[in-house]
Structure 1
Amino acid sequence: MQNSRTSLDATDIALLDAVQRDGQATAQQLGETLHLSPSQAGRRRQRLEEAGVIQGYRARLDPDKLGLDVQAFVQVQLARHGAKEGTDFARLLRVRPEIVSAWTMTGEADYLLRVYCPDLAALNRLIHEVLLAHPVVARVHSQIVMDQPKADAPLPIG
């Protein structure tokens, strides 16, 4: 297996830390943080974007203010594991907006889904009318999030 890791120096790591915390930081602000000129900071950021280390920038929205009051993690076990079944289930994951992220897993569950729904009835419909109704799904186990004592954090890059 080929190592795809990008070589980073201490300034690159500091820049990545800064943009993880504020993706809208200007070259001027990054330069001040990194003790570089704005043009140097901008070139470093551009190099990391072109290398694919920085994949993009997103706004972080408050699900409560959007009426998404139920967050859950849903484990899905498939009945069969062929290429067609995997492709069909992956297609379902892509078209359901309430499924915000999905991982394939080792262990008993094949997939772990993170979902946001407006209420428990919507979560129930997703589980029973969408996931369990899919022909390849054998079992679903859901866990409703009560609280999130640690928010999604920047990656540990230092």
Structure 2
Amino acid sequence: MNPTIIDDVDFRILQQLINDSTLSHKEIGQQVHMTGQAVGARIRRMRDSGIIEGYTVRWNPDKIGHAVQAFITVFLSSNIAHPAFQEFAKSNSSVVETYRVSGEGCYWMRVHTVNQQDLNAFLDQLLEFGNYRVNLAMGQIK
């Protein structure tokens, strides 16, 4: 897959969206010295080419009672466990991110739970697929 080349204006538009995806095309246009309509056309082109894959929301899990954040390295017990584990990770609401990784472990997960008991229940479910190592977040830097 060849990377799509974008110009400086596209890159500046992309940076504006990364910083705040709620900005209107007009607001972005004011920052990059273009009309809102021209910005909209460039954004559509970047979506169509796959540069922009979607939009997301940054949220604070502590504010809704999800105070425990864990980083989990998963060690699957066998090669046949991958599909079932991947389905578990995709469908479990506590899982924020999952990556297949090289090096130590098979997968890396970021999990938010309401409390330690919910984390323990989640970890018990993980044992169906293999073993794990857990690190708890102590505070966010960035």
TM value normalised by structure 1:
0.86
Partner amino acid, structure 2, of 1:142? V
For 2:116, the equivalent position in structure 1 comes to 120
Structure in which a larger fraction of residues adopt helix: 2
Which portions of structure 1, spanning 4 or more consecutive aligned residues, are displaced by more than 4 angstroms? Answer: none
How many Å apart are 1:55 and its aligned residue? 1.2
Q: Does 1:71 align with 2:69?
A: yes
Which of 83, 87, 91 is matched with 2:87 structurally? Answer: 91
Unaligned runs of 5+ residues in structure 1 are 151-158
For 1:147, the equivalent position in structure 2 comes to 139
* Identity, % of aligned positions: 28
Which of 17, 23, 32 is matched with 1:25 structurally? Answer: 23
How many Å apart are 1:37 and its aligned residue? 1.3
Which of 57, 68, 71 is matched with 2:55 structurally? Answer: 57
1:36 partner SS: coil
Whole-Å separation in 2 of the counterparts to 1:108 and 1:58: 30
Deviations 1:63-113 (A, max 9, x none): 11110000010111011113xx21111111111110111001111210100
1:24 partner SS: coil
2:14 partner SS: helix
Whole-Å separation in 2 of the counterparts to 1:108 and 1:30: 42
Q: CA RMSD in A?
A: 1.0
For 1:103, the equivalent position in structure 2 comes to 99
Whole-Å separation in 1 of the counterparts to 2:23 and 2:39: 11
Partner amino acid, structure 2, of 1:49? R
Whole-Å separation in 2 of the counterparts to 1:121 and 1:53: 40
Unaligned runs of 5+ residues in structure 2 are none
Partner amino acid, structure 2, of 1:42? G
Deviations 1:29-69 (A, max 9, x none): 01101101111111111111111111111222211111000
TM value normalised by structure 2:
0.95
Whole-Å separation in 2 of the counterparts to 1:119 and 1:12: 43
1:8 partner SS: coil
Matched residues, number: 142
How many Å apart are 1:140 and its aligned residue? 0.8
Partner amino acid, structure 1, of 2:85? F
